[in-house]
Structure 1
């Protein structure tokens, strides 16, 4: 059991509070949903089959934290996470992405997650293999002899060196090994062999093979043998290039894929944004009919079906779906009834107030002010935000959201970037400490805010 699996819903909310300000209802809903998955894992197989995730529909304007809540939750739980926009999909028969593709993308993410984890487990052994390959390039213990015409088939023979030469080279290798480990040889250049896949055939005008569950590049790549290319590089670079190659050799890909499929099926999270854009009123025609078609294509996936991927079949019954949308023009009841029923948990996120903007700039562990301080500190530039400076940044951002399009907390990005533009440009030549107070913010934004046309383009 992982450390996350031991967390109670209250503790999960506390973890989310470190990164997201407010929205306690949404945090509570996702904490319960994810905890129920952990509870399900402890049940007997008979009950496991019966209990499916309670999918969530988040309703609220842009920039209030819908995506961030789902993403942070996935990071905390170590779950494969995919964010998609509902508008990228089209009804079957139209040009565009097939809804099945999101399951294939989730599986790809799961495979990469498990693969990285397995590679980390064999890292130390792989480093020793990399060491041997570098030493082989410097002082080989075996001589390679080419068979006549064997280059057509990529064949070559290796035979041990003479005993005297072998002993001498063995001694040299041990001396070089010591220097290699100490880093003395990092700037030395060597020539190494790297395998490259040979797939000379390209396909033009065909639909994406992944959309029909085929990995054509692998099929073609397996027909043609891998080629070896010799590359000259520094030893420090060779270590980085060879390490993932050697790690991949040590992991069992069949086991990795099976683990990844289980992970995607039982712990996968798919966040479907812009759900309101595919909602259509009953009796509508034209474009709205296509939107209903997308909903009907989504329905079996959310209900639970089996999707074919290049790694094998994947059941979607236990994947957690979190849908989100502003629902300004349309409303959740405009979704087809069957799809509405598949998102039983409804959570309304609150619009951000001016005081929320102040908290967003200060409280989260990854607050924007802390990010800019860390960035400029790399150039030895000290950046300090005063209380009145933060309040002014929040006031300006909130006011701009009321005046222009309301983009929520994302407005802070545009305002802060404009306020710190000169500092970011002039660093590292700045020697004095930069203090961002209310006067500093006003001075940097005064001309832009007064000109309404300029404001709409820049902020």
Structure 2
């Protein structure tokens, strides 16, 4: 036998064995390595190196999690019928370039936060406030001027670190004028600031002083008010540094009369607020009010932030009257001791001496140079509040019933009765809504029952519970 014949005879058995093995492998279904489903349910598999098979769904999920955009493997031709090496694929999705930080910073600088044309004049701000707020002319004027100067100060970018200009003359540093607002409850302190936030495109944060405590105690830290402003500015530090912070219930952090215990929510909070009011650099958490190792921190400079503090200051009027009575003397030019007993705007006579007697420390008052007092609401002002503002309470109810195609009318005597009742309750403008909610309940409940009702008139006998509202049918 020749050598060629010998090699042919010895090779043929091996070839036949390989064919039998391939036929045996083809007789079994492929199973996905991830979801363990057979090829009969998933469709053709993708064969990976090492004898591992993956279905299209599991492969797509794997690449989506890696590329955050992924590739659609089902659209690739002949994909299920070839053995592939995953390292040979170009998995970078098109147009998935990550922008550099330098380009983002450069873009933000090209778009300035303010221009001189965008700064609203004080009279424009006051005219917008007049559409929503009744009375309080002095307070609206003071706030309008303060916000106007704050805008210009933020535009100029002046601070205590201003250096000499190119002309050699020292630039004038414009200091911020923080505001202290005084007024009885329900006179519109918080509503004035909230309305200002809607009318102006400036970040504004409203914080409550009652929740503030000294660092290390249960409660919010002082830096939490800056953290709220940063959140209101969309975590943009540059915008937050030109915003406004309104601290409500500032009278609740007055110095306590008892000195035997540590005053962690009174005088200590005033001392902690000094650095924020004056202007300093603080580290605040981003997206949270608590500092921990997992929370990112941001550095905010409060030098250009305008602070407005408001409070009712109960019993401050008695302190003012006591001081005014001491000036009474004997003679024709003397002041009677009971001359200020019925004074409705007694807070207009307030001085720093009265506020110190109330419990505010002098360092705190020195950083709030502008003090404005809001008037208590009278009966005529209550009636105007019910009718004149754009979002008056009566207009809100009229709109609600107009959706049911019913016309709502309030008589003049009914509005005056509501105003007198609100004054008796002593909670200011908040009492107006409470009274209307009480009497409008039955009307809002009964009117939708009958679709033939065309109009409803709220009368004074109905409010005095001596009758019902006047209901007129359609036609």
Classify the TM-score, shorter chain: 0.5 to 0.7
- Tell me the TM-score normalized by structure 1: 0.60
Q: What corresponds to 1:418 in structure 2?
A: 438
More helix by share: 1
SS in 1 for 2:409: strand
1:282/1:443 Cα in 2 relative to 1: closer, same or farther (>3 Å)?
closer
SS in 1 for 2:138: helix
Distance 1:62 1:108 in 2: 28
Deviation string for 1:17-65 (max 9, x for gaps)? Answer: 1111111111111111011022224537578953232110011111101
Matches within 5 A, 1:9-20: 9-20=122-133
**Is 2:259 aligned against 1:273?**
no
Q: What corresponds to 2:305 in structure 1?
A: 319
Tell me, yes or no, if the aligned pair for 1:4 and 1:77 is still in contact at 8 Å.
Answer: no
Distance 2:360 2:429 in 1: 28
Q: What corresponds to 1:357 in structure 2?
A: 382
Deviation string for 1:312-338 (max 9, x for gaps)? Answer: 211111111111111123652221111
- Tell me the TM-score normalized by structure 2: 0.58
1:24/1:278 Cα in 2 relative to 1: closer, same or farther (>3 Å)?
same
Distance 2:355 2:140 in 1: 20
Distance 2:383 2:116 in 1: 32
Distance 2:135 2:367 in 1: 26
Greater RCO (CA < 8 Å, at least 6 residues apart): 1
Distance 2:226 2:249 in 1: 18
SS in 1 for 2:221: coil
Q: What corresponds to 1:304 in structure 2?
A: 279
1:65 to 170, 174, 188: 188
1:289/1:283 Cα in 2 relative to 1: closer, same or farther (>3 Å)?
farther
1:31/1:390 Cα in 2 relative to 1: closer, same or farther (>3 Å)?
same
CA displacement at 1:363 relative to structure 2:
0.7
Distance 1:375 1:95 in 2: 44
Distance 1:411 1:45 in 2: 44
Q: Which structure is larger by alpha-carbon Rg, 1 or 2?
A: 2
Q: How many residues align?
A: 293
Structure 1: which 5+ residue stretches go unaligned? 112-256, 447-459
Q: What corresponds to 2:239 in structure 1?
A: 263
Distance 2:262 2:161 in 1: 40
Q: What corresponds to 1:409 in structure 2?
A: 429
Deviation string for 1:153-173 (max 9, x for gaps)? Answer: xxxxxxxxxxxxxxxxxxxxx
Distance 1:444 1:77 in 2: 47
**Is 2:371 aligned against 1:371?**
no
CA displacement at 1:82 relative to structure 2:
1.4
SS in 2 for 1:428: helix
1:278/1:423 Cα in 2 relative to 1: closer, same or farther (>3 Å)?
same
CA displacement at 1:108 relative to structure 2:
0.9
Tell me, yes or no, if the aligned pair for 1:419 and 1:444 is still in contact at 8 Å.
Answer: no
Q: What corresponds to 1:205 in structure 2?
A: none
Tell me, yes or no, if the aligned pair for 2:255 and 2:360 is still in contact at 8 Å.
Answer: yes
Distance 1:47 1:94 in 2: 33
Tell me, yes or no, if the aligned pair for 2:116 and 2:155 is still in contact at 8 Å.
Answer: no
Distance 2:467 2:248 in 1: 33
Distance 1:2 1:409 in 2: 37
Instruction: Supply the RMSD in Å over aligned alpha carbons.
Output: 2.4
Matches within 5 A, 1:41-440: 41-43=154-156, 49=162, 50-111=173-234, 257=235, 260-266=236-242, 268-280=243-255, 284-286=259-261, 288=263, 290-308=265-283, 309-310=285-286, 312-329=298-315, 332-333=355-356, 334-398=359-423, 400-401=424-425, 406-430=426-450, 431-432=452-453, 433-440=455-462
Tell me, yes or no, if the aligned pair for 1:58 and 1:346 is still in contact at 8 Å.
Answer: yes
Distance 2:199 2:210 in 1: 28
Tell me, yes or no, if the aligned pair for 2:177 and 2:306 is still in contact at 8 Å.
Answer: yes
